Amino acid sequence: MSLFLIAALPFLGAVFPALLIRAGRNAASAAAGFTTLLAFTGLLLHAPAVLRGEVIQASVEWLPGLGLNANFFLDGLGFLFAGLILGIGLLIILYARFYLTREDPMGQFYTYLLLFQGAMVGIVLSDNILMLLVFWELTSLSSFLLIGYWKHLPEGRQGALMALAVTGSGGLAMIGGMLILGNIAGSYDLTDILQQKEAIQASPLYLPALILILLGAFTKSAQFPFHFWLPHAMAAPTPASAYLHSATMVKAGLFLMARMWPVLAGTPEWFYIVTTTGLVTMVLGAVIALFKDDLKALLAFSTVSHLGLITMLLGFGTKIAAVAAVFHIINHATFKAALFMSAGIVDHEAHTRDIKRLGGLRHLMPITFTIAVVASLSMAGIPPLNGFLSKEMMLEEAFHTTWLGSHLVIPVLAVVAAIFSAAYSFRYIGHVFLGSKRDDYPTTPHDPPTGLWLAPGFLVVLVVLIGLNSNGVAGPLVSAAANAVIGDELPYYSLKLWHGITPALYMSAVAVIGGLLFFSQHKLLEAVWNALPRPEAKVIFEALINGLARMARSVTDGLHNGSITRYGAIMVLFTTIMGYYAFRTGTLGAPVHDIQAAGPLPIIGWFCLMVATVAVVLKHRNRLLALVLIGVVGLIVSLSFNYLSAPDLALTQISVEVVTIVLMLLALNFMPKETPVETPLPARLRDMGIAAVAGLGSAGLIYALLTRDFVAPSISEFHLANSYKGGGGTNVVNVILVDFRGFDTFGEIIVLGIAALVIYALTEAILGSKVRAYLLNRKPDLPQAGDAHPMMMVVATRVIMPLALLVAAFIFFRGHNEPGGGFIAGLIAAIAVIMQYMASGFGWAAERQRFYYHGIIGCGVLIAAATGMGAWFNGLPFLTSAFGYIQWGPLEEFEWATAALFDVGVFLAVVGAVMLALESLARFAWQPGNDPEHAMDINPARDDADAEVKQEA
């Protein structure tokens, strides 16, 4: 099976549980299980090749320019981790089916679980570090969903947030580190990077890259001082905890360290940072675990401790230590997942996880007891279980390692950690299962249904089998994975129970005896522990986060204080300053154009424009007057377009002007008609200053532009030369719109349609709120005209309607060769319809409306799209136009271009959008009873009918 498919399957499968949950919980879990099984089988098919030492690759170039390629590769290490992720995932899916109750949304759980699984598989199969980073962040996000799965529990939400904050910020640091690493190596592909040990370790940027990458790994793998998030993440449902914290999420950091081991390890920096962190974490986690009364908290801290152990082994930097690390990863995953699940079973059956309330369960839950005992003893390092093997390898390596010149520090601390580790393992057995039966359990526990103990039972069998026959069961896997980590010849090692009388054996013995001693004296030790002052990580973390949040808030509130006026002023000033800076630092050629003389007409127009613009500002408090004045400005602007050889623009501007003014009048109807004086004179003067600066800037810029030539040749010549030859039209502006730049136009009509739909949606929302009652009972605030729908106007608009539509058709058809086209024709047609609304009333017009404007917009966009796609059938790219000429009857030669069909789409979209916008606004005005009784419908029968009614009465 392709590696792409293996990585994609969990993501694809994530859809099904969410959908299938309606078909029942079995269907949802079966879907999740089947997907995982499929991916797992696909992975196992690669097993023979991988175990032979081959590397399987699959790659697709995605953004080669950025070094971002979808490259996957599968070597021994990836195979080990992918196997753990999918294999234990399968067991977790089975376990969760029986663990979650009827009230829990199970579909969601499996969806989150599969998303998480996919992200994890992605990490371990990625060959490209940028892609690895993406998957890395995805695990943070999906684990957030899993940890916070019980949304109603505050601990769940807090734990999820904490995990996301810690692992997310570590991930950010890692992005930095990986980018540096990629930069040093000159490639973002792992296979390339792993070849360049010398170059990377010699680089001056090695240390920063190392620290940043390790920050990512340490936060993810809960290493001191970032270990505190893991116990809080125990608020997750136990299946999620078992999955995240035994086999997957927290192992991602270890995976990364193992993956980067060939290039990063072996330096003193690596040794001291990684070994020390691992050592401290191992000891600290083990000590705290002994004093936790919550079963899951105990396991969480023991996980922290074991992760520290593996980190320390990787930190040693020797090949044999790397082998031990790989072996312990396997062993820890098996016994820890089984332990988490057994803790879940106890919680599920006894309804408490508090060790102080448990004890004597041996009699009530013999199966669970067996599972828990085997797994715990393995964790304690008791032969012949698998935990013993790897722990002894660790002790052996610790014995040979010197730290800052001391031969004692690491071995002694390793034994201390091992003692505590044995002690808390014994406690897990002794205080939960042994002892006499109690009669004060919250509910009387008994062994769970098979489905719940099957998964941990299977893992426990593995624990024993690996212990008894490690070479046969785990040997090939360990050697393949270790080979991938070391990237070189494997050192001599043997996975067996009896190595003879070695220092490690003595250390193991001390650990077990010490553990028994500590366990027996637990009460005493606990009293000492409780008397000691301890910093509470959660409090520190929250203080830190609150401090950061306060800082962010003060910065944000300082800048973003809710005053839009202020934002506007800052933006205008900043833009002007940037422009000024560019002007000062750039080069400006000498003016080459002579100023064209202006005749009397432009001067008159200019004068009107200046007066009208100033008048808008002076009179803006009288809103109606300001609206009239702005209409004058728009009119002169469109006349100027016409004068300056832009007839299309003039036509568009003038028709848009009409629609805009109607729109604003409609809105003004509901708003105050005056603007009060609010700002003091100094504030107004300051605003005038800002405005003057902006005005001077834009005037200066366009003047400088107008008196100079283009710096580079313009592409306009191409359009002029090819408009007729290539596009079949002589109106170059229209040909650009519907042909050369048709794709832009296509986007623009979509935007216009969206704007209209937004307006419609806003209208619906506003009319659906309390505002509707206000609108319905609103009294007009100005005196009303005697007749809302004067007969003169009604008659005039009815007569004009067909004429206006004819003009629109005319403008549309001449568009390709003469000024005109779909945009302008659409606006004219819309104005023709709006006039009916204005003259005869909303109710009258709405009654006669045959097509919804939404549909018209949609039709327009679809027609434009279909025209564009038509080109595909001729093997041409989207929107390639074709044209020809037809002679029909007495008419002049007629051009028929597919571009005209596209223009029909533009036309319809514009009509629909304009009408939908205005109609929405008009709906605000509708009040019951203000429709004219007979809005000028000439219907002679009506009067007769009225008379009949009267007669009958």
Partner 1 sequence: MELLLASAVGLMTACGVYLILRRRTFPVILGLSLVTYAVNVFLFATGRLAVGAPPVLNKYAEVAYTDPLPQALVLTAIVISFGMTAVVVMIALGAFLSSRSDNINMVEAADGAGDDA
Residue pair 72/59 in contact (Cβ under 8 Å)? The answer is yes
Minimum CB separation of residue 725 from partner 1 in Å reads 10
Beta carbon nearer to partner 1, 532 or 597:
597
How far is residue 684's CA from residue 374's CA, in Å, rounded to a whole number? Answer: 82
Minimum CB separation of residue 793 from partner 1 in Å reads 24
Count the Cβ atoms, other than its own, within 10 Å of residue 290.
25
Task: For Cα atoms 33, 330, 227, give the angle at the middle one, nearest 5 degrees.
Answer: 95
Minimum CB separation of residue 858 from partner 1 in Å reads 16
Backbone angles phi, psi at 565, to 5 degrees: -55, -45
Minimum CB separation of residue 595 from partner 1 in Å reads 5
Beta carbon nearer to partner 1, 686 or 934:
686
Beta carbon nearer to partner 1, 692 or 791:
692
How far is residue 345's CA from residue 165's CA, in Å, rounded to a whole number? Answer: 30
Minimum CB separation of residue 600 from partner 1 in Å reads 12
Minimum CB separation of residue 108 from partner 1 in Å reads 35
Beta carbon nearer to partner 1, 560 or 934:
560
Beta carbon nearer to partner 1, 25 or 719:
719
How far is residue 438's CA from residue 432's CA, in Å, rounded to a whole number? Answer: 11
- Closest by alpha carbon to 729, among 887, 904, 885? 885
Minimum CB separation of residue 731 from partner 1 in Å reads 5
Tokens coding 765: 């929302």
Minimum CB separation of residue 547 from partner 1 in Å reads 24
Minimum CB separation of residue 900 from partner 1 in Å reads 17
CA 183 to chain centre: 26
Helix (H) / strand (E) containing 653: helix 647-668
Could you tell me the CA-to-CA distances from 88 to 83, 342, 357, 624, 812 in Å, in that order?
8, 15, 30, 73, 67
- Closest by alpha carbon to 570, among 560, 585, 580, 584? 560
Q: What is the DSSP string of 398-416?
A: HHT--BTTBSSHHHHHHHH
- Closest by alpha carbon to 650, among 827, 454, 414? 827
Residue pair 382/512 in contact (Cβ under 8 Å)? The answer is yes
Task: For Cα atoms 271, 274, 275, give the angle at the middle one, nearest 5 degrees.
Answer: 70
Whether residue 225 has a cis bond before it, omega within 30° of 0: yes
Beta carbon nearer to partner 1, 568 or 790:
568
Tokens coding 805: 């539509």
Minimum CB separation of residue 37 from partner 1 in Å reads 51
Minimum CB separation of residue 929 from partner 1 in Å reads 21
Beta carbon nearer to partner 1, 153 or 685:
685
The C-alpha torsion from 401 through 402 and 404 to 405, rounded to 10°, is: -170
Q: Where are the alpha helices (DSSP H) in 225-318?
A: 229-232, 238-242, 249-264, 268-270, 276-290, 295-316
Beta carbon nearer to partner 1, 42 or 742:
742
How far is residue 759's CA from residue 831's CA, in Å, rounded to a whole number? Answer: 18
| Adjacent-strand bridge partners of 56 | 74
Beta carbon nearer to partner 1, 645 or 951:
645
Minimum CB separation of residue 775 from partner 1 in Å reads 7
Beta carbon nearer to partner 1, 61 or 744:
744
Minimum CB separation of residue 627 from partner 1 in Å reads 8
Beta carbon nearer to partner 1, 1 or 646:
646
Minimum CB separation of residue 826 from partner 1 in Å reads 9
Could you tell me the CA-to-CA distances from 266 to 278, 316, 699 in Å, in that order?
16, 8, 65
Q: Please, what is the angle between helix 249-264 and helix 129-147, to 10°? A: 160
- Give the start-end residues of each E strand in 64-202: 68-74
Beta carbon nearer to partner 1, 774 or 872:
774
Amino acid at 469: N
Tokens coding 148: 């916070």
Beta carbon nearer to partner 1, 127 or 648:
648
Could you tell me the CA-to-CA distances from 796 to 661, 800, 930 in Å, in that order?
20, 6, 22
How far is residue 844's CA from residue 651's CA, in Å, rounded to a whole number? Answer: 30
CA 757 to chain centre: 26
| Adjacent-strand bridge partners of 70 | 60
Beta carbon nearer to partner 1, 109 or 746:
746
